[in-house]
Amino acid sequence: MSLRVALIGYGMGGAVFHAPLISSVPGLTLSAVVTSNPARQEAVRRRYPDADVLDTADRVWDAAESYDLVVVTTPNRLHVPLARAALEAGLPVVVDKPVAATADEARALGALAAERGLLAVPFHNRRWDGDFRTVRRLIADGALGEVRRLESRFERWRPAIKPGWKEQADPAEAGGVLYDLGSHLIDQALTLFGRPLRVYAELSARRPGAAVPDDAFVALTHQGGTISHLWMSAVTPLLGPRFRVLGGEAGYVAYGLDGQEDALKAGRTPLDEGWGVSPPESYGVVGTPDLSTPVATEPGAYQEFYAGVARAVRGEAPPPVAMDDAVTGLEVIEAAMRSSRDGAVVTLPGALPDRTA
């Protein structure tokens, strides 16, 4: 039996990412979309004629027995209240990143899910980027030797501010590049190397009129000595490598972003032939100055997130992303903000003793 999904929100997140991915995964049915915007309502009816179009989330809670899963992809300040409402209605929930504006809010959401015996799953789709999957494979295979440093970048050139909630200074909005792009980079670093011991950050608002950081650097020191250097920016006129991973025996360098987002924006889905496959000219390189060779990029696979959610809802597997991972990511973000404010390295609460010191 297919799981019936109610999607709350049909902005870029809902229209470009969640709805196409949900509708492409066997065992999931996009049953309803919640949006009060008339133009978005019409867009849903055109692309998903079998889905009900609802104007408020209350209509989902009032008919909770008609759904098996809720997906929340709204402005950040609404993530927690809508996710709590879903859980209180007896429905498991997927929550777009960042799950919350604070680690405490995310932790409380996870506690409510556990109390109700339901799933609350953070949407960290970038674990299924092709280039990141390639990095994971190279590390797992020992192709680089002991990894000493990860350099990872999400950089853009957007010198003019685009008005919207992501540019607002209210902390409840969780705006700025640290929350927006940094959530992805931090989650990837934690996936590779675990909870860091120390956090150092430099956050800046570079563009005239910017109220939140639009340029950021975050350094994480992990147990065992691996260091992650993470850059996120809207004001980078020349882009650096997406990944540079340096090991004791070899390095890996790759440029350009995973192509799944652009494919989704163009109307393609994982049901299309060749989904997630990178062309050879975009392959990264593994080696040393003496000898380096291109290495094929693993296929990107955002659909695997929702396939994992479906298995988890049915009780067949653990969730593809744990709420504890999102909590740790938000702890890192909060530590980064303190580090930048105070100009100091911050020790992450609960970190294990540093055996490399």
Q: Rounded mean pLDDT of the chain?
A: 96
Q: Cβ atoms within 10 A of the Cβ of 306, count? A: 27
Please report the beta strands in the chain, taking only residues with DSSP state E, as ranges in sequence order: 3-8, 28-34, 52-54, 69-72, 93-96, 120-123, 147-155, 196-204, 215-222, 227-233, 243-247, 251-254, 284-287, 292-295, 346-347
Q: Is the pLDDT of residue 354 over 50?
A: no
Final residue belonging to a domain, choices 123, 144, 176: 123
Inside any domain, residue 257 = yes
Read off the CATH number of the domain in which 58 is found.
Answer: 3.40.50.720
Answer whether 121's CB lies under 8 Å from 323's CB: yes
For the chain, the domain total comes to 2
Residues 235, 260: one domain? Answer: yes
Q: Is the pLDDT of residue 356 over 50?
A: no
Residues 236, 258: one domain? Answer: yes
Residues 149, 235: one domain? Answer: yes
Inside any domain, residue 356 = no
Inside any domain, residue 97 = yes
| 151-183 residue pLDDT tens | 999 999 999 998 888 888 889 999 999 999 999
Q: What band does 349 get if pLDDT is binned at 50, 70 and 90? A: confident
Read off the CATH number of the domain in which 340 is found.
Answer: 3.30.360.10
Residues 196, 212: one domain? Answer: yes
Q: Is the pLDDT of residue 319 over 90?
A: yes
Residues 144, 55: one domain? Answer: no
Answer whether 211's CB lies under 8 Å from 169's CB: yes
Please report how many Cα atoms fall inside a 13 Å half-sphere around the Cα of residue 335, on the Cβ side: 24
Task: Report percent pLDDT > 90 for the chain.
Answer: 92
| 267-298 residue pLDDT tens | 999 999 999 999 999 999 999 999 999 999 99
Q: Is the pLDDT of residue 198 over 80?
A: yes
Answer whether 304's CB lies under 8 Å from 123's CB: no
Mean pLDDT of 196-202: 98
Final residue belonging to a domain, choices 123, 146, 180: 123
Query: Which sign, positive or negative, has the C-alpha torsion 269, 274, 279, 285?
Result: positive
Q: Which residue has the tokens 């002991």?
A: 146
Q: Is the pLDDT of residue 357 over 70?
A: no
Q: Could you tell me the residue range of the domain that residue 140 belongs to?
A: 126-301+331-347
Give 3-state DSSP helix, strand, coil % of the chain, rounded to 5.
Answer: 40, 25, 40
Inside any domain, residue 311 = no
Q: Is the pLDDT of residue 43 over 90?
A: yes
Q: Looking at residue 249, what DSSP letter applies?
A: S
Residues 75, 170: one domain? Answer: no
Q: What band does 352 get if pLDDT is binned at 50, 70 and 90? A: low
Residues 23, 97: one domain? Answer: yes
| 230-279 residue pLDDT tens | 999 999 999 999 999 999 999 999 999 999 999 999 999 999 999 999 99
pLDDT at 164 (0 to 100) = 87
Inside any domain, residue 310 = no
Three-state secondary-structure class, residue 312: helix
Choice among 19-23, 166-170, 216-220 with the minimum mean pLDDT: 166-170
Q: Is the pLDDT of residue 351 over 50?
A: yes
pLDDT at 170 (0 to 100) = 86
Q: Is the pLDDT of residue 355 over 50?
A: no
